[in-house]
Amino acid sequence: MIFSRKRAEGARHARDERDAGVLDTEETPQPPARGPYDVSEAPDAPRLDLGSLQIPAVPEVEVRVQADPQGVIQQVVLVHGQNALQLGVFAAPRSEGIWDEVREEIRQSLFNDGAAAQEVQGEYGTELRARVRTPDGITDLRFVGIDGPRWMVRGVYQGEAATNPVAAGPLAACLDGLVVDRGQEAKPVREPLPLRLPREVAEQQAGQEGAPQQREA
């Protein structure tokens, strides 16, 4: 299933939002310079609501999701040209972030599979870059992690954006404008936060699956 965001109206680059924030008065609480934002501090902007994740509307970016018949999403991938960004969001403890531990586990898993991974410094701190062998050939990956209040967002870039962050362009803008709705219920650390299709999309999908098949005379 694909949600396209190919119109420019209403879409703003997160870095432009950062610049606009200087116009607020000192009495107004300032949101973070950029996202991913917690839902409690996110600026207003058009977004696709997938439950725990809200994806900003960025021109020319397609939101591709894999969901089960109940509308529960197993995978979210943003695509722009030849580049892709796979997103995941996980529960984290209140007291500390978990990206450092998760990153080391990813590095060790890659090593066990015969792929070397290198830590590099990026806009969000320490990232992990690796080159892996897939059925389609050698693929470059770039893992990004952002710790938030009781959550962690993990992004995996593929394509040129995996080796050249500048090429991420609109995908980076999506990450900058991402909103996380963690909810208040207790969850085990690292458990994926629930993602669901928008209600109208889920209802449309259910209607199509439940529609009786017409028989040819």
| HSE value, Cβ hemisphere, 13 Å, CA-based, for 214 | 3
What are the pLDDT digits (tens) for 161-186? 999 999 999 999 999 999 999 999 99
Q: Report the pLDDT value the prediction gives residue 202, as an integer from 0 to 100.
A: 61
Looking at domain 37-197, its CATH architecture is 3-Layer(aba) Sandwich (3.40)
For the chain, the domains span 37-197
Residues of the chain scoring pLDDT < 50: 5-26, 215-217
| CB-count exposure of residue 194 (10 Å: 0-12, 13-18, 19+) | middle
Write the DSSP assignment of 159-190 as a string of letters.
Answer: SGGGT-GGGGTHHHHHHHH-EE---SS---TT
Question: Is the overall model pTM greater than 0.75, yes or no?
Answer: yes
36-70: per-residue pLDDT in tens? 999 999 999 999 999 999 999 999 999 999 998 88
In angstroms, how far is CA 158 from the centroid of its own chain? 13
**Average pLDDT, rounded, for the chain:** 85
